[in-house]
Structure 1
């Protein structure tokens, strides 16, 4: 006998404790990007210094220009902005009833291609109601239940055995009323019995439980031993049909017990299939009277030679929002699949009702899945939409099979045994209401409402977060390209230094970082859930992204250079630097509006759709105006006052990026097909 960390639960706990905190993939890519930009900046700095020396410029002046370029080339706020955007996204996910436990999962959410979802409570309401039954070959319609006094003896035995073989009970409240306590499947039995004047608590007192064999996922049945009024002991068993029939030798038929026949079994199976096709969960009930308890009470000693009584069919309605969520998944290129412990026929019926199972799909039961070799399962995994009668250990194989196709898999789970599958999945999703603490510890996301639609909402939010990070990267890099281009051209053509280091630092601090952060609050684009999932291996720099950074940065750089030359010609280097500084700052603040969408005109997006961005732009603009107008601060920045004509130049040039980007969008060349 193993104890502590050597038990199966202990091994799972050890696995969870050994989990390492990992940096987000995006963080790693940004760190790599920063290094690349650093090397590029160093190379350009050396080049500019060398060119300046060839022109005969003073080495200190060229050194200062090279330092300015280095400051301009490296977007210092990139890593910070991405981390803050992720953190803000996590807070938004909490409002959607999804608690994110690991930052990398926020990125993975947007790339999800497969959602493996439990049925009960996630796709359905987990509110079971007994609606049908079968005993002595006759159907019982519990939607219109019989009068309690008119129940037949066989019907009473069916209800009594199923009630005694139930751990749920009635919890009495201070006001004299009661509520159910226990598993929803079992509370459904308690409810229907109470409607027929059979009180669970009273039945337990009348027929006390003396022993039991608890339910487990392998046997798929449970047994209790109760002391009956005549002094005998009765073994009451309930569970799945196949599992109960496997230990049944007799049948109760119209008050008499006789040997069960193949004809009886065929009739029972047909009735079970009929209920299952109506999306009912079917429980079979059997019993056996014994004189005394065996020395060893277990499944082998008491779950044998049973008398089959009948079946109860209960419905667990689908959550009303699930059908729409499944449609949204499929439109977004995400494959939803159902994993359940229910009978395959029942599972298929429910999956078809909510849209997961469609014509041409396949369903597989756990016992069949177990016999399929890994190679065959990995090859055919995409054919299956429903996995029925699945044990927790099967979930790991299912996840690995999907992952073998390069899919990003989200897997739900709530039990201790689900922990390995939750860890194996790219995104482990545990249930906040019914989930165990072990499952929560193994997961990346905890659903506080146990709802499938919340997973889909979290995926949508994950896509929005990633989109907004890309917007921030595009904004920061296009701004930095503009700064680098301005200084580089001025240096190569010996036009003097258009910006001082303090100007560049101010722009990077004020007009870059604040709007970039505010972009994280941008709402999702309307088509965000009609795109296919993003390939997580794909870097930031798609052809479209590279093109936008280049031409938008070039636009900002050239208009800033134009402002510098206008000011330089009219009033010398200080006026030129002042105008370049102003145009560079204000053009970036106006340019941020271009980032709302890479395809749609920015004028089709209300400025108030992102109030944080409006405030960030206004705050940055006010700070810039303070620098430009207050004499004391102007002296620190070594800038001069501009007259009305020069301000007209500044305003006009600052609007050029909006005109250029709108024209490029209108021509349909602002993005490439590989992005959408």
Structure 2
């Protein structure tokens, strides 16, 4: 086993070079040999399996039973039509499910973890699935371990391995250790790093020794067979609604059958009518439509730089009323620039003058560069924006990092820690060593005993401390971020524990990360939408407030609070205070969790952004955890519900707008389907109750249900959305699906469609001298009247879909042609309906025949009435809204 072997033996066995890694050619060969570095997912269902899964429904079983009975009694045409409807429904379901799966797969690919590797002598970031055994992988804090690694180098490396060992405390790693005992437990193998664990501290390098299913996590995956396809809360509610409607429909069917027995009607005809009515009453297409609308929605969101990892997040987005956002990179450009620098009694501004003569200032710039891990070449930087700014400062003054590193090579370091707020490096200077420590000024003042002045080290008195603090505050008041630097000279190489004491303070730099140009307008949009933007930052209070005021987040310094002040409050006291605060400065990751919980305790729906390892708890605690796609660690991305590929606050606001519209589109589809189904129920139920001829045959109901359950409903789900959706308050997550008049709209639409269908049927009889109460109506007259009802029912539902696009705006306000999918669905619906009554073969099958031009005009007029009445009602609703 790899943990029993020396580093050089492992490198030799995999024919890999520690410095240069594998060659591209070798990677291709090994990829063919070992395959992609991924765990095997459950085998995908074939089209046939998907098709069969669509048939697993009680109502489908009933329909198939009805088809069998019609075949038995010789009604072959009816049997064929019923079977065709069942098959077509299943095919549509398969297509919808396939599209939804493909959309989700595409999004999962976008959020795949990445790995930092050495190849061809270069350091590259690649997709983790491209790793092969023998690759040299670089680990740093915040990265997922992408495969099983034998560590070949480590510097204070700690890895959280609870996914494998169950231990919540991170394990300390040491590449130099060797364990000869083959039975050494995983948790004790400190020279190994395992796939799907998380580096939480320090740095390291390792050689890939196992990928995919050959990893330790892969062995567990072989044992487990999990199904993670969870229904969203909305889908659960709609499934419950479907069951309720199902019970109601079955009750109605039993009632119809009982009445038919009393009225001595044709029992077989009533049996088929009852079955078709049950299918019509239950919107069995809802789950599929919701799934595809959600999938289309999240695909659309990915195009605006928001990758939604979990479908329930789409629903929750519409209810968000608090956006807690990091300042750096999200509200600002994440392109730090040093504006001023200060050494004792010497404040300078960075301008076009590229000369720097003061020896203290030169030492400050050099020290800042030597303690930076960033690079800046050809006007492009890599690394942390703050550190890039420091290297860029040196570049501005002709102090080049690469040359400086050659003169003062780094030999040790103590990584940055959010509790210490410091990082230190040890560099070699001729026969001596220099320690450079950079970080927060208050932290450095505690561990510094001297200060540089005119090139000499003098005691750091209280007066000098006050000078630094005063200058720091002045710069902070101008929204500049302060970074301090201290150093000490030592004779021999020292450990990291000895670095941060007895330091000599050199100076501070003030840098600014300018606000993103588009953020201010996005904050205004959020406020209009009833959303409160909150700034959370590690910067000083005055710095944070200056940016917050400029962006319109806060108006007064009293709306800002420090992390140390948060600690003074109990959870209950903090919860009462929370709604008054807009800026949280100098906060730790632990404070973020407390902030989220406090906001949630006041009934708010909270979105929280984060990018670091320690942000994972607050991202998990928030209703919507938002990770940064560019600067975010794999840990933060793993803990989040949504990833911003551009790290931009504006994208969050756009995502909320999209989330609101997606929810509204689903609501439109549902209300529309329920209106149509209610119209069919009203038509049949009233005709049975009053002992009138049944205006629609079972096959006709199934046909209409098929048309209205698919194209128009899906097209409504693809509606561009309401441009004014962000002028409304967030949706209460507890509100009924039928709130704000959706229930009455569905009932009104259903009753109108049902009554007009009966009216068309009556008119068809009346044209030939018969009424609804007539007995012994000739079959051709009955066929003509049913054709009128058949066309009116289908046409009125197709037209009524236009009214569903907005609850208050008219179709002219939103634009008749602004949803071309819906217009296309209506046109296709009419073509299909016209084909059924005009093509002899189909007309005979559905027991209809063509109608006169005059009757076509009447049918269109009847079909437009529900739409027109709905538009009239909207006029009164708009007037009421204007008064409010």
Q: Where do 5+ consecutive residues of structure 1 fail to align?
A: 172-176
How far the C-alpha of 1:485 sits from its partner, in A, is 0.7
Q: Which residue number corresponds to residue 333 of structure 2?
A: 125
Q: How does 1:482-631 map to 2 (within 5 A)?
A: 482-542=679-739, 544-571=741-768, 572-631=781-840
1:390 aligned to 2:587? yes
* Residue 154 (str. 1) matches residue 354 (str. 2): no
Moved more, 69-78 or 490-499: 69-78
Task: Indicate if the aligned counterparts of 1:68 and 1:499 stay in contact, CA closer than 8 A.
Answer: no
Paired position in structure 1 for 2:406? 205
How many Å separate the matches in 2 of 1:543 and 1:116? 29
Q: What corresponds to 1:169 in structure 2? A: 375
2:481 counterpart SS class: strand
- String of CA shifts for 1:214-265, please: whole Å, max 9, x gaps: 1111111111122224x33222111111111111122222333222222222
- Counterpart for residue 510 of structure 2: 313
Bigger relative CO (Cα 8 Å, ≥ 6 apart): 1
CA-CA distance at 1:589 after TM superposition: 1.0
**SS of 1:214's equivalent?**
strand
**What residue number does 1:355 align with?**
552
Structure 2 runs not aligned, ≥5 long: 1-157, 172-186, 188-194, 199-216, 769-780
User: Does the residue aligned with 1:667 lie in a helix, a strand or coil?
Assistant: helix
Superposed, 1:23-62 pairs within 5 Å as 23-62=231-270
- DSSP 3-state at the match of 2:483: strand
Q: Deviations for 1:483-523, whole angstroms, at most 9, x for unmatched residues?
A: 11111111111112111111111111113421110112212
Question: Offset of 1:33 from its aligned partner?
Answer: 0.4
1:431 is aligned, of 609, 628, 631, to 628
C-alpha contact (below 8 Å) 2:344/2:468 kept by paired residues: no
Corresponding residue for residue 451 of structure 2: 251
Displacement, 1:417? 2.1
SS in 2 for 1:307: strand
How far did residue 146 of structure 1 move?
5.4
Residue 676 of structure 2: which of 453, 462, 479 is its match?
479
- 1:124–1:317 contact (8 Å) kept in structure 2: yes
Matched, 1:449 2:617: no
Is contact 2:808–2:874 with CA below 8 Å preserved after alignment?
yes
Question: 455-464 or 250-259: which moved more?
Answer: 250-259
Partner of 2:461: 261
Q: Could you tell me how far apart the structure 2 residues matched to 1:574 and 1:420 are?
A: 67
Tell me, in whole angstroms, the C-alpha distance in 2 between the residues paired with 1:74 and 1:209.
71
Match of residue 368, structure 1, among 545, 555, 565 = 565
Q: Deviations over 1:542-600 (max 9, x none)?
A: 25111111111111111101001111333432222111110000111111111222111
Q: Distance in 2 between matches of 1:506 and 1:519?
A: 20
Paired residues of 1:236 and 1:287 also in contact (CA < 8 A)? yes
Pick which of 30-39 and 14-23 moved more.
14-23
Query: For 2:434 and 2:878, how far apart are their aligned partners in 1?
Result: 78
1:107 — aligned with what? 315
The aligned counterpart of 1:141 is 349
TM-score, normalization by structure 2:
0.72
Partner of 1:232: 432
The two structures have a TM-score, normalised by structure 1, of 0.93
SS of alignment partner, residue 655 of structure 1: helix
Does residue 857 of structure 2 align to residue 660 of structure 1?
Answer: no
* 2:606 paired with 1:406: no
* Deviation of the 1:644 alpha carbon: 2.8
Per-residue CA deviation, residues 604-647 of structure 1 (Å, 9 max, x unaligned), is 23222111111111111111110011111011101123223322
1:601–1:308 CA distance, 2 compared to 1 (3 A): same
Q: 1:280 maps to what in 2?
A: 480
Query: Of the candidates 383, 408, 418, which is equivalent to residue 217 of structure 1?
Result: 418
Q: 1:506 to 1:56 in 2, by over 3 A?
A: same
CA deviation after TM superposition for structure 1 residue 70, in Å: 1.3
